[in-house]
């Protein structure tokens, strides 16, 4: 225990980075995933196919592979993302490593988010969309005003699972330059060979708490959006 409590600051910082990776790639994957889902159910055939191809590409490859591609192949192709280091947000600036890790997580998770949204949209009876179109709403309007609000409710549980998976998937970044929770765990394990079970326990507690926060807020959303 004392291994963790002696540098509790570092422990919190490590989980802070885990959380930051999760929030950034979680938000980005929701946006990209929703966009892809809209394409997949949309009326334009080429877009439907493009979105389907995206899902095939990124849902069917291991996350580790996407990370390896981002970290080792992209720099060889001249894409290093070093320009993001010029950006400053307050006294924090994103590093190229953070950008690449978030991008890998976003690309991967978006495929799952897309499919979760699609399942929600499919759960809305077709008549709803037809009725919306028949009163003269455009595709965009019928999505925004009729289908998505109903799909939104159905989609919360599967989306939560996808986001929880993302939160835990951030640990893959430990081997790609990110000093997040899993990195902290491996460093402490190496430095305190005599306190391994305690270190595992502390890291597990950290993840359980973070995941529980995500799950509880999803329950709260579910209750709020419930139709009486």
Partner 1 sequence: MRLIRTKAALATAALALTMAACGDAGDDGEAADTPEVEVEENAADEFDEGTRMRELAEAGSINIGVKFDQPGIGFKGATDDIPQGFDPEIGKILAADLGIAPDDITWTETISDNREPFLESGEVDLVIASYSITDERRAVVGQAGPYYETGQQLLVHADNDEIEGVEDIKGMEVCSVTGSTSLDNVKAEGAKPRGFDTYSECVDQVLDGTVDAMTTDGAILLGYAAENPDELKVVGDPFSTERYGVGYSPDAPEMCEWINEQLTEAFEDGSWEEAFEATLGLSDVETPETPELDPCQG
Q: Is 20 an interacting residue with respect to partner 1 (CB under 8 A)? A: no
The answer to whether the beta carbons of residues 135 and 90 sit under 8 Å apart is no
Judged by beta carbon, residue 114 or residue 178, the one nearer partner 1 is 178
Q: Is 94 an interacting residue with respect to partner 1 (CB under 8 A)? A: no
- Out of 2, 190, 224, 226, which residue is the one contacting partner 1 (CB under 8 A)? 190
24 contact partners, CB below 8 Å, separation of at least 6 = 102, 106
Q: Is 76 an interacting residue with respect to partner 1 (CB under 8 A)? A: yes
Which of these ranges, 24-32, 70-78, 203-211, 214-222, lies near partner 1 under the rule CB under 8 A? 70-78
Size of residue set near partner 1 by CB under 8 A:
25
218 contact partners, CB below 8 Å, separation of at least 6 = 156, 157, 159, 160, 163
Lookup: tokens for 74:
């992209």
- Out of 75, 94, 152, 158, which residue is the one contacting partner 1 (CB under 8 A)? 75
CA distance 18 to 207: 9
Judged by beta carbon, residue 117 or residue 184, the one nearer partner 1 is 184
**CA nearest neighbour of 109 among 153, 170, 155:** 170
Q: Is 96 an interacting residue with respect to partner 1 (CB under 8 A)? A: yes
Main-chain phi, psi angles of 221, to 5 degrees = -60, -45
Interface residues toward partner 1, by CB under 8 A = 71-72, 75-76, 80, 82, 95-97, 174-179, 183, 186-187, 189-194, 196
């Amino acid at each position: 225990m004392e291994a963790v409590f002696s540098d509790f600051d570092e422990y919190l910082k490590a989980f802070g980075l885990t959380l930051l990776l999760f929030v950034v790639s979680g938000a980005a994957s929701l946006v990209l995933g929703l966009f892809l889902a809209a394409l997949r159910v949309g009326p334009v055939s080429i877009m439907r196919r493009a979105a389907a191809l995206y899902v095939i590409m990124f849902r069917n490859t291991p996350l580790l592979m996407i990370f390896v591609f981002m970290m080792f192949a992209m720099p060889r192709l001249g894409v290093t993302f070093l320009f993001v280091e010029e950006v400053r947000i307050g006294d924090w600036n994103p590093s190229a490593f953070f950008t690449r890790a978030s991008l890998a997580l976003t690309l991967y998770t978006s495929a799952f988010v897309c499919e979760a949204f699609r399942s929600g949209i499919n759960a809305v009876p077709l008549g709803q969309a037809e009725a919306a179109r028949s009163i003269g709403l455009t595709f965009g309007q019928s999505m925004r005003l009729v289908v998505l609000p109903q799909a939104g409710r159905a989609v919360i549980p599967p989306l939560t699972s996808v986001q929880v998976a993302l939160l835990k998937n951030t640990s893959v970044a430990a081997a790609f330059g990110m000093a997040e929770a899993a990195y902290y765990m491996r460093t402490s394990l190496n430095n305190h060979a005599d306190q391994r079970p305690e270190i595992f326990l502390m890291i597990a507690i950290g993840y359980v708490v973070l995941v529980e926060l995500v799950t509880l807020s999803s329950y709260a959303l579910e209750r709020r959006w419930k139709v009486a």
